[in-house]
């Protein structure tokens, strides 16, 4: 396999944009943009409460129309990732809700949703054992690996993998994929995603520093 195209598209983020949620963030990767609103911890109906930890809910809203199967699948993957890092035992019998509004999908959407969710959780002050981020890898017919692919690059690829990486031990929390790839290619995607994750975590830290240095 050839070496990866190792550059991520330009990333940007604005936090604390919305007044109603407890935390919010608009995350941009190239022309892909997702707005996250985080609500909680708040009281929850008894029928849905968990006695030993908070209930995590994720809602993905498409740019137009109503959520479909794709959004429901994304919700489950993002929720499972968030559940693995949020210290829910600190807030039992409550709910934490993450609403992700897709502003523009120009590729690597699930990764952008994960990044927006993490920055929104940070803005809301939700306690987490680690930060997390999403990185998408695309494999084309020539065995070229592209990081953070655009919509066009995704369409032309034979396989697309999105990985969620956590910040403390650089572990993989989640993998979502389509297409065919070998175990060796999976390992190469993991290695490339882990390197890229360090750049994203540094971006998170720099963003928070800039925000608090202004206030």
Q: What is the pLDDT of residue 215?
A: 56
Per-residue confidence (pLDDT) for residue 86, from 0 to 100: 93
Residue 35: closest CA among 51, 48, 23: 23
Q: What is the pLDDT of residue 2?
A: 44
Domains of the chain by residue range: 11-214
Q: Are 31 and 106 in contact (CB under 8 A)?
A: yes
Q: Please state, in angstroms and rounded to a whole number, the distance separating the CA atoms of residues 41 and 95.
A: 5
CB neighbours of 20 closer than 8 A, spacing ≥ 6? 37
pTM over 0.75: yes
Q: What secondary structure does DSSP assign to the chain, as a single string?
A: -PPPB-PPPPEEEEES--SSSSEEEEEEETTEEEEEEEEEEEE--GGG--SSSPEEEEEEE-SSS---HHHHHHHHHHHHHHHHHB-GGGSTTEEEEEEEEEEE-SS-HHHHHHHHHHHHHHHHT--BSS-EEEEEEEE-TT--EEES--HHHHHT-SEEEEEEEETTT--EEEEEEEE---HHHHHHHHHHHHHHHHHHHHHHHHHHHHHHHH-
pLDDT tens by residue, 98-153:
999 999 999 999 999 999 999 999 999 999 999 999 999 999 998 899 999 999 99
CATH 3.40.718.10 matches 11-214:
no
Name residues of the chain where pLDDT drops below 70.
1-6, 47, 49, 214-215
The β-bridge relationship of strands 32-43 and 159-166 is: unpaired
């Amino acid at each position: 396999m050839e070496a990866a195209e190792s550059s991520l598209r330009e990333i940007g983020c604005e936090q604390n944009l919305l007044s109603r949620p407890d935390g919010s963030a608009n995350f941009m990767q190239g022309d892909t943009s997702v707005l996250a609103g985080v609500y909680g911890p708040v009281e929850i109906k008894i029928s849905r409460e968990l006695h030993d930890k908070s209930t995590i809910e994720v809602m993905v809203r498409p740019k137009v129309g109503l959520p479909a199967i794709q959004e429901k699948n994304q919700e489950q993957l993002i929720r499972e990732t968030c559940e693995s890092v949020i210290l829910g035992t600190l807030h039992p019998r409550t709910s934490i809700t993450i609403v992700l509004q897709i502003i523009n999908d120009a590729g690597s959407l699930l990764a952008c949703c994960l990044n927006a969710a993490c920055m929104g959780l940070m803005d809301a002050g939700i306690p987490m054992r680690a930060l997390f981020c999403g990185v998408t890898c695309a494999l084309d017919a020539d065995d070229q690996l592209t990081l953070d692919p655009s919509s066009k690059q995704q369409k032309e690829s034979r396989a697309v993998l999105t990985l969620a990486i956590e910040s403390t031990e650089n572990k993989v929390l989640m993998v979502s994929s389509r297409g065919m790839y070998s175990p060796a290619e999976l390992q190469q995607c993991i290695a490339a995603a882990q390197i890229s994750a360090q750049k994203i975590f540094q971006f998170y830290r720099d963003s928070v520093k800039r925000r608090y240095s202004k206030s």
